[in-house]
Amino acid sequence: MEQHPLQPKVKKHHHHIMPTKTALMIGGTLLFLTFVTVWVAGIDFGAWNFPIAMLVATVKASLVALFFMNLYYDSKENGVIFITSILFLAIFLTFTATDLFFRGDVYVKGSLAMAAPAGKSKFTKPWVSTPELIAHGKTIFLAQCTGCHGNEGKGDGAAAAALNPHPRNFTQQEGWKNGRKPSQIFKTLKEGIAGSAMASYATLPADDRWGLVHFVDSLGGPNAGDTNEDLVKVGVDPNKTESAEAPEEKTIPVEVAMKRMVEDGGYSEAKAGEESNVAPGNPELENYDKRLGRSFTPHL
C-alpha cells in the first residue's frame, strides 16, 4: 500500500512489554540507589554533597524514564521531546543564576541609581575630623565595608580569605597604596584601587566618604595630616565650610540599587496590608513602587 505523505509512518505491531523480572530488577536498583544516596549524605564531602546527591538522583531518574516510561524501547521522537524540556530547564537555571550571581558587575543609571540624597552637607568642613564624623563613618563602615575589612577593620572580613591582594588591615601603619593621610584615603574611596577588590565608592555622598575616612583613620596611629594642597588635590576648597561635592557617578551596581530599595524603603518593617512606606520623602523610589503596582511587603 502506498504510504500517504501526511500519514505517520506506522511500525509493525511490536510494542515492548517489559518482562516482570526486568521490572523487579530495575525497581531493586532504584531502592538500592535510594539507600546509597541516604548513606552518602551522612558523609560530608563539603561542596561535593550537592553534585553527588544530584548525580545519584539523575541516575535514578534516567532509569525511571528509560525503562519505566519506556523511552529506551520507544521511538526517538518522544525521547527528544522529553530531553528538550530538560534542556530548556537547564537554560532557565543557567541564565537566572547568571543574572542573580553577577548583578554586582552590572551598573544601572537613572532613577534606580538613587545615590543617597545629595542635599546639603550636614557637617561643616567634613575634611576635618570630629567625633561626630567618626561616629557617622562607623555606621557607614559597618554597613558597607565589614564584608572584606572585618568588623574591626583588620582586613579579616568574611570575604577576605578569597581576595588577593588581601583587604587592608587599617590598624597597620605600613603599606597603604595611596598613603594614609585623610585626603589620600578619600582618594582611594573615590577611585578604588585598580587590580584589587577595592571598588570606587564615589556614589556615596561626600559626607559619608569623609566620615569613613576619619573612622578608618582613627583605627590606625597618627599620620601627617593634610596640607591645603593635599585637600585641593582631591577637589576640596579648604576655605569653604562644606563639601560641594555631590556623589559623582549616577551609576551604581544593580545589586546596590536593589538593596537600597529594600533597605531604605523599610520594607522589612512594613506589614502586609499597610500602606506602603517605601522611602518616605523619596519621590523617585515611591514612584518605582507604584510602577510595580506594589503596596505590600515582599517577605523574602
Partner 1 sequence: MSDVHTAVAGEHTRHHAHHFESAEAEFDACKQGMWIFLVTEVLMIGGLFVGYTLFRGMNHDAFHEAHKMLNVKLGATNTVVLITSSVTMLLGVTSAQRGQRSKSMKYLIMTFLLACCFLVVKYFEYSAKFHHGLLPGGNFTNEELTNPRSSLFFSFYFLMTGVHAFHVVVGMGLMAWLMKRTANKDFGPDYYTPVELVGFYWHFVDLVWIYLFPLLYLVG
Site string for partner 1, 48-67 (x = CB under 8 A): -xx--xx-xx--xx--xx--
CB of 18 or CB of 292, closer to partner 1? 18
What is the rounded CA–CA span in Å between residue 85 and residue 260?
A: 37
Output the smallest distance, CB 172 to partner 1, in A.
Answer: 31
Find where cell 537600597 sits: 260
**Which cell goes with 49?**
554533597
What is the tally of helices (H) and strands (E) in the chain?
Answer: 10, 2
What is the rounded CA–CA span in Å between residue 101 and residue 113?
A: 19
Output the smallest distance, CB 255 to partner 1, in A.
Answer: 11
Residue 253 phi, psi (nearest 5): -60, 145
Beta strands in the chain, from DSSP E residues, in sequence order: 107-108, 252-253
Q: With contacts defined by CB under 8 A, name the span among 45-53, 161-169, 198-206, 221-229 that binds partner 1.
A: 45-53
Tell me which residues in 57-116 interact with partner 1 (CB under 8 A).
57, 60-61, 64-65, 68-70, 74-75, 77-78, 81-82, 84-86, 88-89, 92-93, 96-97, 100-101
Site string for partner 1, 25-44 (x = CB under 8 A): -xx--xx--x--xx--x---
Look up residue 95 and give its amino acid: F
Which is it for the CA torsion 269, 273, 279, 285, positive or negative? positive
Tell me which residues in 257-286 interact with partner 1 (CB under 8 A).
272
Asked whether the beta carbons of 137 and 156 are under 8 A apart, the reply is no
Half-sphere exposure of 160 (CA within 13 A, CB side): 17
Tell me which residues in 9-28 interact with partner 1 (CB under 8 A).
10-11, 13, 15, 17-20, 23-24, 26-27
User: Any contact of residue 292 with partner 1 (CB under 8 A)?
Assistant: no
Of 65, 68, 40, 70, whose CA–CA distance to 55 is shortest? 40
Tell me which residues in 109-168 interact with partner 1 (CB under 8 A).
none
Q: With contacts defined by CB under 8 A, name the span among 6-14, 117-125, 154-162, 201-209 that binds partner 1.
A: 6-14
For residue 142, the Cα-to-chain-centroid distance in whole angstroms is: 18
CB of 92 or CB of 139, closer to partner 1? 92
According to DSSP, the residues that pair with 108 across neighbouring strands are 252
What is the binding site for partner 1 (CB under 8 A)? 7-8, 10-11, 13, 15, 17-20, 23-24, 26-27, 30-31, 34, 37-38, 41, 49-50, 53-54, 56-57, 60-61, 64-65, 68-70, 74-75, 77-78, 81-82, 84-86, 88-89, 92-93, 96-97, 100-101, 272, 299-300
